[in-house]
Each structure stands twice: as structure tokens, then as C-alpha cells.
């Protein structure tokens, strides 16, 4: 069966410091991969998605970037964190893009607090 | 622009008190409606996919239904362990739009 791993679970970082969150998927090949952010009391906001290695689409211009160095690895990064980057970051995967009606499967998230 | 509205924002039930959560949507060409359960501090857990009006899916005490403009998540005889935030999302033209969620609390 497929599993998704996301780490770390919690992170406290000072303003201006770099960020690297990692997500890996097991048990499937060539998944679509996603990064979402969930602010308190709000819905999920799509940040980035990827349909293959090195292919990244950005949905919201901001202080973050994403990379997909391997088929089942997705990384969210920042060179300098802002206070507004605080939130709950979720990685998700779905089966490849030909199945538009396939659900997303989420990791357990990273709670990021920028101080 | 696709829109998804969930109601109520919060719902408190007594154990055994059945009720329904609503997800209203406005999309161009629905490709699927998804229900998720999210526990505090965790990622959303996939529950159901509904594709066309009239479709129904069931899992334990949960039953999801779909019409052309909304979906209902019916909870029959809920238990305290059903307490969670329930999210719905709709997909159209490859884009997935989430609602804000309904926070369900079931008291023993």
C-alpha cells in the first residue's frame, strides 16, 4: 500500500532563517505531488504541485519554492522565512494526471512557527 | 471562479444524535467531490469520492450524497470518536478547491 512521510512534525524557526521541509511517498510510481498550507480556521491553500521530476507549478507567488529531485520526493524551501510563513504545511500525492477525479492523500503535516 | 461553502461552521451533537453536514459548490464542470476527515494536528484523511448527482457512498456511520449543487455528509448515531473537522473539496478542470470545513463535536 501507499504511504506518505512528512517531516519534521513541528518546527520553530526565527525570521530570516532558511527552511526545508521534506516529503516522500512509498508504494507508487510517478505520483502527482502537492504542497498545501492550512492557516488556522481557514481552508487549504495550494502552494505548489508537480507532475514529474523537475516539473514544478506555483499557484501562489510568495517567499517559498519547491523542488522534486526524485520521483517520490518533494521538498518545500525558503531562503528567508517571514512571520507570515507560519502555518500548517501539508504534502499530498495523487495518481498521475490522467485521472482528474482521483483523490489526494495527505501526510500528517508540519506545524511551522516563525518567531 | 469555483466556490465551495460548508455549513455549519461548527456542530455540536450528543452521542446518538444524527445530523447532516452540507457542502454547497459552484464549479464549471464537476470532475469529482471529495470528503475528508481531519483530526487536530493531523493531515486530512480521505473518506469518499462522489462523481455524479444521485450517487451515494457509505462508510460505517457516515453516508455521503451528491446533487447538482451540493453534497451532504449524513452522520447516523454518532460517537465521540467521530469528532473531527470534515472537509469537502471539488475538482473541476484539474483544479481542486476546498471548503473551510465543519468542526464536529460529539459529546458522550
pLDDT score for A102:
84
Taking phi first (over 0 means left), then psi (-120 to 50 degrees means alpha), and beta for anything else, what does residue A69 get? Answer: alpha
CA B34 vs CA A52, A62, A76, A100, B85: distances in Å: 24, 28, 25, 12, 14
What's the burial of B99, exposed, middle or buried (CB within 10 Å: 0-12/13-18/19+)? buried
Nearest residue, CB atoms, B46 vs list A101, A103, A109: A103
| Chain B: residue whose CA lies nearest to A37 | B43
B100–A100 C-beta distance less than 8 A: no
Position B93 confidence tier, pLDDT thresholds 50, 70, 90? confident
pLDDT more than 90, % of chain A: 79
**Hey, is the C-beta of A105 within 8 angstroms of any chain B C-beta?**
yes
State chain A's mean pLDDT as an integer.
91
What would the pLDDT profile of A4-55 be if each residue is shown by its tens digit? 999 999 999 999 999 999 999 999 989 999 999 998 766 899 999 999 999 9
pLDDT score for A99:
57
Chain B residues inside the 8 Å CB shell of A43: 4, 87, 98-101
- State the Cα–Cα distance between residues B17 and B83, nearest whole angstrom: 13
The lowest-confidence range among A34-38, A60-64, B6-10, B31-35 is A60-64
Return the C-alpha cell found at A5: 512521510
Do residues A78 and A85 touch, judged by C-beta distance below 8 A?
Answer: yes
pLDDT score for A61:
66
Nearest residue, CB atoms, B43 vs list A43, A103, A106: A106
pLDDT at B67 > cutoff 60: yes
DSSP 8-state class, residue A102: P
Amino acid at each position: 500500500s501507499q504511504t506518505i512521510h512528512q517531516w519534521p512534525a513541528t518546527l520553530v524557526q526565527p525570521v530570516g532563517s532558511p527552511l526545508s521541509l521534506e516529503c516522500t511517498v512509498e508504494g507508487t510510481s510517478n505520483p502527482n505531488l502537492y504542497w498545501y498550507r492550512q492557516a488556522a480556521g481557514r481552508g487549504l491553500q495550494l502552494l505548489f504541485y508537480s507532475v514529474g521530476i523537475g516539473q514544478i507549478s506555483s499557484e501562489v507567488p510568495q517567499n517559498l519554492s519547491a523542488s522534486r529531485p526524485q520521483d517520490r520526493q518533494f521538498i518545500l524551501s525558503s531562503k528567508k522565512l517571514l512571520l507570515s510563513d507560519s502555518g500548517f504545511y501539508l504534502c499530498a500525492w495523487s495518481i498521475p494526471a490522467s485521472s482528474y477525479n482521483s483523490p489526494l492523500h495527505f501526510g500528517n503535516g508540519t506545524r511551522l512557527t516563525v518567531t | 471562479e469555483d466556490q465551495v461553502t460548508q455549513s455549519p461552521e461548527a456542530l455540536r451533537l450528543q452521542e446518538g444524535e444524527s445530523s447532516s453536514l452540507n457542502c454547497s459548490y459552484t464549479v464549471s464542470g464537476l470532475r469529482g467531490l471529495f470528503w475528508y476527515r481531519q483530526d487536530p494536528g493531523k493531515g486530512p484523511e480521505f473518506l469518499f469520492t462522489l462523481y455524479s448527482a444521485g450517487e451515494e457512498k457509505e462508510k460505517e456511520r457516515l453516508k455521503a450524497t451528491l446533487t447538482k449543487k451540493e453534497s451532504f455528509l449524513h452522520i447516523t448515531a454518532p460517537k465521540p470518536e467521530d469528532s473531527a473537522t470534515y472537509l469537502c473539496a471539488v475538482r473541476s478542470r484539474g483544479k481542486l478547491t476546498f471548503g473551510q470545513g465543519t468542526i464536529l463535536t460529539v459529546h458522550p
